[in-house]
Amino acid sequence: DDEDDPRCLVSPGMFRVLIGKNHPEFSSGRQQDAGEFLQHFLEQLSRAERTALGSRLEEGSPFASLFEFSVEERLEEAGGAKRVKYSRQ
């Protein structure tokens, strides 16, 4: 079972070092924004996926697309008609 094999384990600190290796912000020891780190990590996954799969990538959807989302904003009028307006970002 690979889960118990210490050669297959990566500590959280080592993971951060490996992912942030070529990024000026994440290669430092300072505290970083988690959202920016996740975005950088997904970009690294996409690059590695394109490198590994090349033209075969078109057959399926990229791994990073599993994390895509959109934000919907709902504005409701306070008085009177109580109209509602939705917008997507």
Residue spans of alpha helices (H) in 20-87: 34-53
Q: State yes or no: pLDDT of 76 exceeds 80.
A: yes
Q: At 5, give phi and psi (nearest 5°).
A: -80, 115
Quote the pLDDT of residue 61: 63
> CA 52 to CA 16: how far, in whole Å?
22
Greater model confidence, 55 or 11: 11
Cα–Cα distance measured from residue 26 to residue 33, given in angstroms and rounded to the nearest whole number = 9
d(CA 63, CA 51): 13
Which pLDDT value is given to residue 20?
81
Least confident piece of the model among 33-37, 50-54, 70-74: 50-54
pLDDT at residue 13 in the model: 81
The tokens for 6 are: 């210490």
